Structures are given as C-alpha cells and as structure tokens.
Amino acid sequence: MDPLNIQKTELHVGAKIGFEFVSDVDAITDRFVDDFFAEFAAAKKAGRDKVVFILPVGPVGQYDIIAQKCNRENISLCDLVVINMDEYLVSETGGFISNDDPLSFHRHMEDHFYGLLDPALAPPENQRIFPDPHDIENVPAALRHDGGTDVCFGGIGITGHVAFNDPPEPGEHYSVEEFANLPSRVVRLSRESRLINSVTTSGGNVDRIPEYAVTVGMKEILESRKVRIYMNRPWQAAMVRKILHGPIVAQVPASLLQTHPDVYFVISDIVGELPQPQLR
C-alpha cells in the first residue's frame, strides 16, 4: 500500500518507528518539556558528568516553560551542554545572521531560555554551542570532549529534513550510507524548506528567509544515544507516513531514523490525518 493512503487508525500497524498521538500543539509542548527533564535526570542518574542535548529552536514555546520550571523548582542545568541544531547565515561564506534579526536562533535561545534562567542554574556560556561556519569542527570536538550526545530532540521539515539536512537536489546522488555520514556543514537551503519556513515565520515572504544555514549533520544526529521527534504541523501528514512506512532513502532524510536503536515520535492528532487533496 502507498504510505500516503494509510488511515490514521492504521498508522501504527507495521510502523518502523515507535510513536504516539497527543491532542494538539500545547500537548506537544508539554510533552517536550516533560521529556527534557526526564532525559536530563536519567542521564545524570546514569553517571553522566555532562549531559549533552542537541536541541531545535522551533516549534517554539517549550524553552520559556523549561526556564520557568527550573527557576521555580531550583533545578540546575549547569551540567547541560546544549548543541543547537542549526542557524541561518548571511551567505555561503558569511557568518550568522544578526542577533537583531527576529529569525535569529541565537536571539531566540537567549530571549526564551538562557536569559530567563536564574544565572546560577543556567548552562555556562561555553556549554551553549551552535555549529560554527568558520569552525565547522566545533560540534564534533564538543561531542568528543563530553562523551557524545545523550538525546537529540527535533522536528521534521516538509522535505523530511532533520535539522537542515535537506534531501539531495535534482542531479545530486547520495547512497543511504553517504547521506548518513554527512557531517556538520554549511548548506544551501532547499526552495521547499525556505518556502514553508516563510509560511510559518514571515507571512509567506520567502525572500526574507536566508538561503544558507549551518547545521549539525545526519552523522551527529544518528550517533546520538536517543532521538526524540515532535510533530505538530498539518503539512507533516504526508511526510510522517513516508518516514514511518516508506523505504530508507536519502530523498526522505528522516527515513534514516528507522536505523536508529532508540528513536520515538510524538505526533499531534492533526498530523495523523490523511493527507487528502482538498481545495480551500
């Protein structure tokens, strides 16, 4: 059967990745927060000196709640190493977009996470890491130093990307193994990713979305001990079916998560709906 024709009620049958449904975007946010604290506590209990999370920025909302809970309950994140998945760049050879840009992931993390935390509870600045276009080995070096990634948290793009690992463009060819070994790097974003990001962040102004970004690679994601994915966009309905029931192919980057020994999806009900054509 074509994965795109699988009904929501049958989506679990033969799925190649474990998942569960939750009601809506608020439930997704709450689950992310709960998982964040549970995984941090589990890693510390297992004896980890530093707990390493790869974290996304969007969808937004969770970091404010995490910071508030830490402050309220005196939960220290001083042993947390944050590897942000990605960031927009001004050009292929340029640096990060300005922190003054509303699209800046650096700015978002500062405004909605680090800046809200009691400084005594916050990760030190040297444990707040973005992949660096001018020092692209900084993420692999940090992972070697701190014993690898405990959990990679993330979402899925309309192309099936995880972080900004978009599928090969027409004329580009990667085997599954080659794609799985792609490291942290500077990338040119696909037209599809820029377009959908413009819908969610800039009122459809695709020209406002940068053409380039720096991203952690599929290699770093797949080498994480655990992967936790959260999906809450209606336009993810088709892609989630390809990921759960389709073949492992570079053209659907997140399908490579089928090879991971500890991956789990949390999906809002609307994402489970059948992706049927409908004029609106």
Query: CB neighbours of 128 closer than 8 A, spacing ≥ 6?
Result: 82, 84, 109, 114
Q: What is the pLDDT of residues 31-46, one digit of tens each?
A: 999 999 999 999 999 9
Domain architecture of the chain: domains with CATH: 3-271 (3.40.50.1360)
**Which residue is associated with the tokens 């099936």?**
160
The Cα–Cα gap between 104 and 94 comes to 15
pLDDT of residue 101: 98
Check pLDDT > 90 for residue 1: no
In the numeric block, which tokens belong to residue 202? 């800039």
Q: What is the pLDDT of residues 86-113, one digit of tens each?
A: 999 999 999 999 999 999 999 999 999 9
Percent of the chain surpassing pLDDT 70 = 100
Helix, strand, coil shares of the chain as percentages rounded to 5?
Answer: 40, 15, 45
pLDDT of residue 225: 99
Please report the DSSP string for 30-80 in residue order.
HHHHHHHHHHHHHHHHTT-SSEEEEE---S-SHHHHHHHHHHHHT---TTE
Check pLDDT > 90 for residue 81: yes
Question: What distance lies between CA 258 and its chain's CA centroid?
Answer: 16
